[in-house]
Amino acid sequence: MGSPPLTDAKTLTRRQFLLGSGAAMLALGTRGARAAATYSSEKPVSAVIFSPQANTLTPEEKTLFRDMNPFGYIISGYLCSSPEKVKNLIDELKSLSGNAHLPVFMDQEGGKTARLRPPFWPAYPPAAIFGALAKKDPQKAALAVYLNARLIGNDLASLGITINIAPVADVAITPSSFGGHSNLGERSYGSDTAIVTALARANAFGLMDSGVLPVLKHIPGLGRSMVDSHKQTPFVTASLKSLRATDFVPFQSLNSLPMAMTSHACYTAIDPENVATESRKVINLIRNEIGFTGLLISDDLQMAALAGDLETRARLALAAGCDVVLVLNPIFADKLQAARGVGPLKEGSLAPIRAALANIKPAPADYDYTLAKNIRNELLASL
């Protein structure tokens, strides 16, 4: 007889690949006392995430960042020309902030939405591939997603990136949402609420077990969008009853995750005048009905779904109830404009992320990533 298959249960147990270890991360309030010492700053933290202009900070950027003390930074694709340059930039940002636990974000889902790309980093499958596998075997798909997230998380953690803006928990209700426009497409796990919930959970646990925090998106659900919010405003006209039955479900199920990102869609049954990011009504629903209590981050403020200049957009998002705004624009003048609309992050908003950062731990040094990759590939090959 030959050796057991890679997916043999005993092999997985022996290699510590079973799902579930990340679940302990959801008890984020259990280490609050320790957390307060983990994320510290002598001056107020500004409620903004900026993207540096290049791999070396300019003098004007250093002055702005030192004066503002942003909540964190996002490493965009144009900054990822080599591992060394990414690491050096993150080291510079941490040194400037004086915070060894500085939140450093990346948007690394897999498929087309990937900032780390070959030849320095591997290509990863899009969410839709795992969703297709889940229709045949939900358990295999969940394991494949978990292992895939462990691999992505290892790539990020090795660079000093602590937070990934994933998983996508949008239920692709409309056909165009799943396979039509370029914004969502392959990024969704599909149209089955149970599958989306299970795979988004597996993704989040895989990231956390690799030492990287997840950001659930796009709350309260972008799966009915008929257009790309990067280019124009999506209007979701479904009834509140329909939204509750489908779109909200994954977000309610995962409402204990530490962070979530808002949708730039307008939900006419809740607030026909404003997109979710700028709607107090929608954000109240996110907090009180969906039950999300973690840090709420806006999607990128430069997207065409929003109106007005960056100062106005930042003010509206924070006034509506977002804790932090994301500004991806690398142009310094645009950073200055956005900065005028940003105030200090409220102490109450810092508490969840303090707890999350205190609970996150590096992955075990002996974790076998080669085996993880092989198992993932074997599972996907069964499609």
At residue 183, the pLDDT reads 53
CA distance 179 to 112: 13
Residues 166 and 217 sit within 8 Å (Cβ to Cβ): yes
Query: Which amino acid is present at 319?
Result: A
Q: Are 144 and 130 in contact (CB under 8 A)?
A: yes
Which H/E stretch holds residue 93?
Answer: helix 83-97
Report how far apart the first and last C-alpha atoms of the chain are (Å, whole number).
26
- Asked if 140 and 379 count as a contact pair (C-beta separation under 8 A), the reply is yes
Q: Is 302 helix (H, G, I), strand (E, B) or coil?
A: coil
Active site residue 230: yes
Catalytic residue among 192, 230, 309, 334: 230
pLDDT per position as a tens digit, 157-189: 999 999 999 999 999 987 644 444 435 779 999
Task: Tell me, yes or no, if 300 is annotated catalytic.
Answer: no
Q: Please give the Cα distance from 131 to 305 (Å, whole number).
A: 28
Tell me: pLDDT of 51 over 80: yes
Tell me what percent of the chain is helix, strand and coil, each rounded to the nearest 5: 45, 10, 45
Which domains are present in the chain? 9-381 (3.20.20.300)
Q: What is the pLDDT of residue 329?
A: 87
Q: Are strands 163-164 and 324-327 parallel, antiparallel or unpaired?
A: unpaired
Percent of the chain at pLDDT > 90 equals 75
Can you give the pLDDT at residue 100?
Answer: 84
Nearest C-alpha neighbor of 215 from the set 139, 108, 311, 101: 108
The pLDDT tens digits of the residues spanning 134-165 come to 999 999 999 999 999 999 999 999 999 999 99
Nearest to residue 163, comparing CAs of 34, 297, 265? Answer: 297
Sort residue 111 into left (φ over 0), alpha (ψ -120 to 50) or beta: left
Average pLDDT (212-228) is 92
CA dist., res. 305 & res. 207, Å (int):
29
- What is residue 200's three-state secondary structure? helix
Residue 50, pLDDT > 90, answer: yes
The pTM of the full predicted model, rounded to 2 decimals, is 0.90
Q: Which of 271, 299, 300, 323 is catalytic?
A: 299
Q: pLDDT band at 63, cuts 50/70/90?
A: very high
Look up residue 131 and give its two tokens: 């969703």
CB atoms within 10 A of CB 77: 15
pLDDT interval class at 225 (50, 70, 90): confident
Q: What percent of the chain has pLDDT over 70?
A: 86
Lowest mean pLDDT among 29-38, 142-151, 374-383: 29-38
Name the DSSP class of 368: -
Q: Average per-residue pLDDT in the chain?
A: 87
